[in-house]
Amino acid sequence: MRVVFMGTPEFAVPPLLALVSAGHEVAAAFTQPDKPQGRKMLLVPPPVKKAAGKAGITVFQPTSLKSTAEAECIAALKPDVIVVAAYKKILPKAILDIPKYGCINVHASLLPKYRGASPVQAAILNGDAETGVTTMMMGEACDEGDILFERATPIGPEETTPELTERLSHFGADLLIRTLAAVKNGTVMPQKQDSSRATYVSLISKKMSPIDWNRPAQEIHNQVRGLYPWPAASAVVSGHRIKIYRSRLAAEESGEPGFIFPQRDGFAVCCGGGTVLELLEVQAEGGRRMSGREFLCGHAVRGLKMA
């Protein structure tokens, strides 16, 4: 099939490369514009642009898809199907109507759960036992189209957002190839979503970072895993904010929530309900990332309280 691909982050790279490997003709890849990053604010291309360039695929980076010119550009590519994977732009009806087989989205949740921008983080933050990938027909509303195929997978108890995202991206790539084959030969059976069961998730923000130590350790551990690597869960000790990158559940112990005490591989903090969370990797403001043990050696925090 002749495909126009739309995607931006690393999650979208395996689906793009799967299209090429499966023999589909990728007419072009649309992705977000390069963005400034780092202290020098140098322009950095998104992962899809890099992957498409290596594969010899023409790349477009429009700031918007709302203009007639963009619709005409895509129509001129004559796609049989448009495939979208974490493109982070809404497709207007003028574009949705172009391809013969419609527009198919690869979404990182088991729809209708977690429609929206941050489904992987949401699954970890909420402590879900499983999540998955869905391929769906796209419409004008966000993630409300008919489901084509789904694949579920357990979430590991220590799995972080990047680790789960990578696994789901490869599952999504396999599911996409299966979906396109079924769409082309007419064997796909679209299923309407049960909107009464739908949940929505917004973009992750720094407002989610501060830890409430009155919550159970498991919930805080989920916060650490779900917000890694950005914006990262955070806490304040002795007036200084630290980011927490890795944690581990520890044996229960009585103590006031937020109370700090040493552990074998670092230091731990009392949480709600007598639960305890060990902090394995942290970063103080203006400092480097380090193990909990290194941090404990360089900071007099024994017996202090996290806020």
Domains of the chain, by residue range, sit at 2-201, 206-298
Q: Could you please state the CATH topology (level 3) that the domain comprising 2-201 is classified under.
A: Rossmann fold (3.40.50)
The chain-wide mean pLDDT, for the chain, equals 93
Please give the average per-residue pLDDT across 110-139, as a whole number.
Answer: 97
Is pLDDT at 305 greater than 90 in this prediction? no
Q: Is 229 exposed, middle or buried (0-12, 13-18, 19+ CB in 10 A)?
A: exposed
Q: What pLDDT digit, counting tens, does each position of 4-23 carry?
A: 999 999 999 999 999 999 99
126-163 burial, b at 16+ Cβ within 10 Å, e below that, comes to: ebbeebbbbbbbbbeeebbbbbbbbeeeebeeebbbeb
Residue 296: per-residue pLDDT: 78
Is pLDDT at 302 greater than 80 in this prediction? no
Please give the average per-residue pLDDT across 210-227, as a whole number.
Answer: 97
Residue 203: per-residue pLDDT: 92
Residue 252: per-residue pLDDT: 82
Is pLDDT at 85 greater than 70 in this prediction? yes
1-20 burial, b at 16+ Cβ within 10 Å, e below that, comes to: bebbbbbbbbbbbbbbbbbb
- For residue 56 the two structure tokens come to 């010899």
Least confident range of 227-236, 251-260, 278-287: 251-260
Residue 257: per-residue pLDDT: 94
Is pLDDT at 26 greater than 70 in this prediction? yes
Residue 304: per-residue pLDDT: 67
Cβ partners under 8 Å of residue 18, min gap 6: 173, 174, 176, 177
> Count of residues for the chain?
307
Residues paired with 290 in a beta bridge? 282
Is pLDDT at 301 greater than 80 in this prediction? no
Is pLDDT at 211 greater than 80 in this prediction? yes
Question: Could you tell me the sign of the dihedral formed by the alpha carbons of 78, 22, 149, 160, in that order?
Answer: negative
Q: What pLDDT digit, counting tens, does each position of 283-298 carry?
A: 988 889 998 888 877 7
- For residue 303 the two structure tokens come to 């017996």
pLDDT top residue among 54 and 262: 54
Residue 300: per-residue pLDDT: 63
The angle formed by the CA atoms of residues 232, 233 and 236, to the nearest 5 degrees, is 120
Between 3.10.25.10, 3.40.50.10420, 2.60.120.10, 3.30.530.20, what CATH number should domain 206-298 receive? 3.10.25.10
Is pLDDT at 265 greater than 80 in this prediction? no
Is pLDDT at 107 greater than 80 in this prediction? yes
Give the percent of the chain with pLDDT over 70: 97
Please give the average per-residue pLDDT across 114-141, as a whole number.
Answer: 96
Query: Of the spans 61-70, 104-113, 139-148, 264-273, which averages the highest pLDDT?
Result: 104-113
- Alpha carbons 70 and 131: distance in angstroms, whole number: 35
